[in-house]
């Protein structure tokens, strides 16, 4: 059932990314998502960036027209919320490598937070196009995670893609699991790098979504539906999906290359 | 048309990708019906496209999203390679467009073509051209003239006399009719003072509409001699048997997939076998229309 609730808090996280908080009493786990409706505009799937307590949150990067509009939503504005939907990260691994590209940190931060509170070691490879776009850097540091930064333009940390930082970390240290979210091409590289060392990888996936109930098939990904079989997929399930990192489907259902 | 069991995946459910159609087949569907395909790519309506309720129903206005008939056959091919019995659903704005689409669809290896004459929320399509017997007959005749592939006309409940539409489809040469599509419906958010769905009007499906679908199938069965396929709110094997006793030879299942997952197909076909055994029917066919043959109710 959809609930229409006011936005209770708005935080600008980066120049292009905003966090909106709203009341949502339903229990939620890191990895799950909600359908967020901006009345008069679209309804979009957003992973929860804050999963604890009665006030949940989503962190939205300006990409399409709706996420662009979401940037200027004010406290008190009404939004529609459905969910939480989908599966969650398994929080049991003791040594976790988190690999975040761009806004991927939105779903990874609450997972890392809970892993830390259970006493796990968390290392974060945090990538962004440039320094001001590094999402949740301080949040990761404050939870006691080790953070390794990379930027495409070299304005902070290692210059280049976050995948090279992840590859170095995987080569140097033992991990029990890798959690990753970001551009699919990036996640594919992370999966390949971890596979060499037999470290299990869990990817938070995104597809065009409509019903979020496992019916309409908009978010189909090989034999899976991201809304009910995901959004978190173990890499071994994705390895048999030819579209992983190569194709997605548009609103009509047509396969289009990334 | 031979089906391994009477439970078909309804159009619009799991029908965007061939992998999903194959998945529904592997889960035990007796056949799978594609999403309704049109002449050209159509994005469908923006979200919200869905309003959820408890398990009694679901409201949607997807807006016939589909990649178009040039693109879609690859999905059918994927499903067919998995062994699936595929029925191709098409929608069009007039009889000529229906005919040319049907001719294309017939070349994809589908075992039948279902004509969407009943979507309640797409301007210029569906119910808008499927609500008079004249139009239905004209469309069905145009299609059956261009293809030998069996044609199923999907009939709307949003009209005074669904049985007259089914009879028109039979006159036009349809091999079967399916009934019903969703009921025209709307949801309003009182805090926002606006319709919930981006399109406003949508279609109601799920258990709430079963009695309506049953009445349509009941009346259609009394008028036509071609097979009837029952659709609308089937959640259990007993629901399916109700449709069969009302006159359906097969049934379509859609919304229940959101509540039970795709495994619903295995459960339904197993459940129906047991139920038929229990009630003393040797074959599904023996139960078709059984409720029409009832003598005066026994009151002892």
- What ipTM describes this predicted complex? 0.93
Residue of B nearest to A242 (CA): B19
Residue of A nearest to B60 (CA): A211
Q: How far is B189 from chain A (nearest CA, A)?
A: 8
pTM over 0.90: yes
Q: What does the DSSP assignment read for A141-206? A: HHTT-EEEEEETTSSSSEES-HHHHHHHHHHHS--SEEEEES-HHHHHHHHHHHHHTT--EEEE--
CB nearest to A216's CB, from B52, B62, B262: B62
Give the residue ranges of chain A where pLDDT is below 50. none
Cβ B20–A35 below 8 Å, yes or no?
A: no
A4 touches chain B (CB under 8 A): yes
Contact (CB, 8 A) for A121 and A96: yes
Query: What is the pLDDT, as a whole number, of residue B296?
Result: 53
Residue of B nearest to A225 (CA): B20
Q: pLDDT category, B300, cuts 50, 70, 90?
A: very low
A225 touches chain B (CB under 8 A): yes
CB nearest to A210's CB, from B49, B196, B261: B49
A216 touches chain B (CB under 8 A): yes
Cβ B258–A218 below 8 Å, yes or no?
A: no
Domain ranges of chain B: 7-293
Q: How high does pLDDT run on average in chain A? A: 97
Q: What average pLDDT does this structure show over B40-69?
A: 96
B42: chain A residues, CB-CB within 8 Å: 252
Q: What average pLDDT does this structure show over B75-93?
A: 98
Contact (CB, 8 A) for A125 and A162: yes
Query: What is the pLDDT, as a whole number, of residue B298?
Result: 53
Model confidence pLDDT, tens digit, residues B257-287: 999 999 999 999 999 999 999 999 999 999 9
Model confidence pLDDT, tens digit, residues A125-176: 999 999 999 999 999 999 999 999 999 999 999 999 999 999 999 999 999 9
Model confidence pLDDT, tens digit, residues B220-236: 999 999 999 999 999 99
CB nearest to B257's CB, from A80, A215, A220: A215
- pLDDT over threshold 80, residue B143: yes
Residue of B nearest to A241 (CA): B19
Q: Is residue A224 part of a domain?
A: no
CATH label of the domain that carries residue A40: 2.40.30.10
Alpha-carbon distance of B300 to B297, in angstroms, equals 9
Contact (CB, 8 A) for B201 and B121: yes
Model confidence pLDDT, tens digit, residues A99-122: 999 999 999 999 999 999 999 999
- Domain B7-293 fold is TIM Barrel (3.20.20)
Cβ B62–A210 below 8 Å, yes or no?
A: yes
Alpha-carbon distance of B182 to B158, in angstroms, equals 8
Distances (CA, A) of A224 to A86, B30, B31, B116: 12, 20, 19, 27
Domain total in chain A: 1
Cβ A2–B196 below 8 Å, yes or no?
A: yes
Contact (CB, 8 A) for B25 and B84: yes
B119 included as an active-site residue: yes
Cβ B192–A250 below 8 Å, yes or no?
A: no
Cβ A215–B191 below 8 Å, yes or no?
A: no
CB nearest to B17's CB, from A43, A217, A252: A217
The count of C-alpha atoms lying within 13 angstroms of the C-alpha of A54, restricted to the half-sphere facing its C-beta, is: 4
* Interface list for A 76-95 with B (CB within 8 A): 78, 80, 82
CB nearest to A253's CB, from B58, B65, B257: B65
Q: pLDDT category, B194, cuts 50, 70, 90?
A: very high
Q: Is residue A170 part of a domain?
A: no
- pLDDT over threshold 80, residue B295: no
A225: chain B residues, CB-CB within 8 Å: 20
B65 touches chain A (CB under 8 A): yes
Q: How far is B158 from chain A (nearest CA, A)?
A: 22
A42 touches chain B (CB under 8 A): yes
Please name every residue paired with A257 in a beta bridge, in sequence order, or none if there are none: A247
Alpha-carbon distance of B178 to B247, in angstroms, equals 11
Out of B119, B235, B244, B272, which one is annotated catalytic? B119
A220 touches chain B (CB under 8 A): yes
Query: What is the pLDDT, as a whole number, of residue B218?
Result: 98
User: Which residues constitute the domain of residue A72?
Assistant: 3-85
Cβ atoms < 10 Å from Cβ of A183: 19
B13 touches chain A (CB under 8 A): yes
* Interface list for B 170-189 with A (CB within 8 A): 189
Alpha-carbon distance of B259 to A150, in angstroms, equals 44
B287 touches chain A (CB under 8 A): no
Q: Is residue A199 part of a domain?
A: no
A217: chain B residues, CB-CB within 8 Å: 13-17, 20, 35
Per the structure block, which two tokens stand in for A163? 């995948």
Token look-up 């009630």 returns B279
Q: How far is B116 from chain A (nearest CA, A)?
A: 17
Q: DSSP 3-state assignment of A77?
A: coil
Contact (CB, 8 A) for B7 and B268: yes
B35: chain A residues, CB-CB within 8 Å: 217, 253
Q: Is residue A63 part of a domain?
A: yes
Q: How far is A216 from chain B (nearest CA, A)?
A: 5
CB nearest to B189's CB, from A4, A220, A254: A4
* 3-class secondary structure per residue, chain B: CCCCCCEEECCCCCCCCHHHHHHHHHCCCCEEECCCECCCCECCCCCCCEEECCCCCEEECCCCCECCCCCCHHHHHHHHHCCCCEEEEECCCCHHHHHHHHHHHHHHCCCEEEEECCCCCCCCCCHHHHCCHHHHHHHHHHHHHHCCCCEEEEECCCCCCHHHHHHHHHHHCCCEEEECCCEEECCEECCCCEECCCCCCEEEECHHHHHHHHHHHHHHHHHCCCCEEEECCCCCHHHHHHHHHHCEEEEEECCHHHHHCCCHHHHHHHHHHHHHHHCCCCCHHHHCCHHHHCCCCCCC
Closest by CA to B177, choosing from B234, B144, B239, B221, is B221
Q: Is residue A130 part of a domain?
A: no
């Amino acid at each position: 059932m959809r609930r229409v609730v006011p936005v209770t808090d708005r935080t600008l996280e980066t120049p292009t990314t905003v966090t909106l908080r709203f009341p949502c009493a339903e229990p939620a786990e890191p990895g799950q998502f909600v359908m967020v409706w901006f009345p008069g505009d679209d309804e979009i799937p957003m992973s929860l960036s804050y999963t604890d307590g009665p006030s949940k949150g989503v962190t939205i990067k300006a990409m399409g027209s709706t996420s662009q509009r979401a940037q200027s939503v004010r406290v008190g504005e009404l939004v529609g919320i459905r969910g939480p939907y989908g599966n969650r990260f398994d929080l049991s691994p003791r040594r976790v490598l988190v690999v975040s590209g761009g806004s991927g940190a939105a779903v990874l931060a609450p997972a890392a937070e809970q892993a830390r509170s259970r006493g796990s070691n968390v290392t974060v490879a945090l990538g962004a196009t440039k320094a001001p776009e590094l999402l949740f850097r301080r949040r990761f540091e404050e939870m006691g995670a080790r953070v390794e930064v990379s930027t495409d333009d070299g304005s902070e940390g290692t210059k280049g893609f976050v995948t090279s930082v992840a590859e170095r970390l995987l080569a140097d240290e033992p991990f029990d699991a890798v959690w990753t979210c970001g551009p699919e091409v990036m996640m594919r590289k992370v999966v390949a790098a971890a596979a060499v060392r037999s470290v299990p990888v869990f990817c938070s996936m995104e597809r065009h979504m409509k019903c979020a109930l496992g019916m309409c098939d908009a978010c189909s990904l090989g034999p899976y539906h991201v809304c009910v079989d995901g959004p978190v997929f173990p890499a071994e399930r994705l390895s048999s999906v030819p579209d992983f990192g190569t194709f997605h489907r548009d609103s009509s259902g047509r396969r289009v290359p990334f | 048309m031979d089906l391994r069991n009477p439970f078909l995946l309804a159009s619009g459910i799991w029908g965007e990708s061939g992998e999903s159609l194959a998945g529904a087949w592997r889960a035990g569907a007796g056949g799978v019906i594609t999403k309704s395909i049109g002449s050209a790519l159509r994005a469908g309506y923006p979200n919200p496209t869905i309003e959820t309720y408890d398990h009694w129903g679901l409201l949607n206005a997807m807006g016939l999203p589909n990649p178009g008939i040039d693109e879609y056959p690859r999905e059918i091919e994927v499903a067919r390679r998995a062994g699936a019995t595929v029925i191709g659903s098409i929608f069009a704005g007039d009889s000529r467009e229906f005919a040319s689409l049907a001719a294309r669809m017939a070349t994809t290896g589908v075992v039948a073509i279902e004509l969407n004459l009943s979507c309640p929320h797409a301007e210029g399509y569906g119910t808008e051209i499927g609500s008079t017997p004249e139009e239905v007959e004209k469309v069905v005749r145009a299609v059956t003239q261009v293809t030998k592939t069996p044609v199923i006309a999907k009939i709307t409940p949003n009209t005074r006399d669904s049985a007259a539409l089914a009879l028109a489809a039979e006159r036009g040469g349809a091999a079967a009719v399916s009934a019903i599509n969703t009921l025209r419906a709307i949801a309003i958010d009182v805090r926002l003072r606006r319709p919930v769905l981006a399109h406003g009007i949508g279609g109601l499906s799920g258990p709430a509409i079963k009695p309506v679908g049953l009445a349509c199938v009941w009346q259609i069965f009394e008028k036509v001699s071609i097979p009837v396929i029952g659709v609308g709110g089937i959640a259990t094997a007993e629901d399916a048997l109700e449709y069969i006793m009302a006159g359906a030879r097969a049934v379509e299942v859609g919304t229940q997939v959101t509540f039970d997952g795709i495994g619903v197909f295995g459960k339904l076909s197993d459940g129906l076998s047991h139920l038929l055994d229990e009630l003393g029917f040797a074959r599904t066919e023996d139960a078709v229309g059984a409720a029409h043959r009832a003598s005066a109710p026994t009151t002892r």
